[in-house]
Structures are given as C-alpha cells and as structure tokens.
Amino acid sequence: MKDILADIDNWQQAGKRVALATVVQVYGSAPRPLGAKLAVSEDGAMVGSVSGGCVESAAVQEALEVLETGTPRLVSYGIADETAWEVGLACGGTIEVFIEPLDW
C-alpha cells in the first residue's frame, strides 16, 4: 500500500474523493495476492493494481459507482461469470475485490 499513498494524498489534498479496491479472495492462480490494492479518484485516475491489468477498468467503473452511492461492495471477477468474459482474467483464476469509499 505504501506505493499508492502519495497519489491518494495528492488527490485528497486537491479535494477529490477516493475509492479503494482490495483483493480479498483469490481462487486458483491470480497475478496479485490477497491485500493488493487499487485506488481510484473521483475523476477516474487510478494507481496500484488488483490484477495483471485485466480487471482494472471494470474495477474503476465499480469504484466510481461506490463513490456515488457511498456504500462499499464485494465484487467477484472470474471466468465463471459474464463480466469476467468481458474483462477476461487471462490466468483463469477468480478474484474477489472489496471496493469502498476512502472516507475513514
């Protein structure tokens, strides 16, 4: 998480809201381990990663919605569900990501 702190600080100092996505479950092979993080600013900028790049754009969309509603959510990305076909985890694994507004 250390590597994304500077960007989060910059966004917050500029008065932007920030959402945080964290890998909370990994089934099968996955490029990023439990605890891997992606931070998203309200204007859609991102730092960090929750996968090797395959689910980031979907996670950013989800993060922006979370900023709108203010409610955290658990999202699953994997080959078994439809969104995963769209975003495509190349490694064939499934990951669960917790997305929350960084308002704590």
Partner 1 sequence: MAELYHAVAQAIRQDELCAVVTVLSGDEIGRKLLVRRERKVEGSSSAVAATGSLGHTALEQAVLARAAEAMEARRTTRISLPVEEQEWDLLIDVHLPQERLVIVGAVHIAIPLVSFARELGLYTVVIDARPIFATQDRFGHVDELIRCWPDEALQEMKLNESSYVVTLTHDEKLDTPALICALNCPAGYIGALGSKRTHAKRVAALQEAGVSDEQISRIHAPIGLDLGGRSPGEIALAIMAEIVQVRNRRKEVGR
Residues that bind partner 1 (CB under 8 A): 1-2, 5, 8-9, 12, 22, 24-25, 33-35, 71-72, 74, 98, 100, 102-104
Rounded distance, CA 52 to CA 91, Å? Answer: 9
Nearer to partner 1, 32 or 84 (CB): 32
| Distances, alpha carbon 46 to alpha carbons 27, 75, 85, 93, in Å | 25, 18, 22, 23
| Three-state DSSP class for residue 84 | helix
Report the residue number, 68 or 86, with the smaller CB distance to partner 1: 68
Q: Which residue lies nearer to partner 1 by CB, 25 or 29?
A: 25
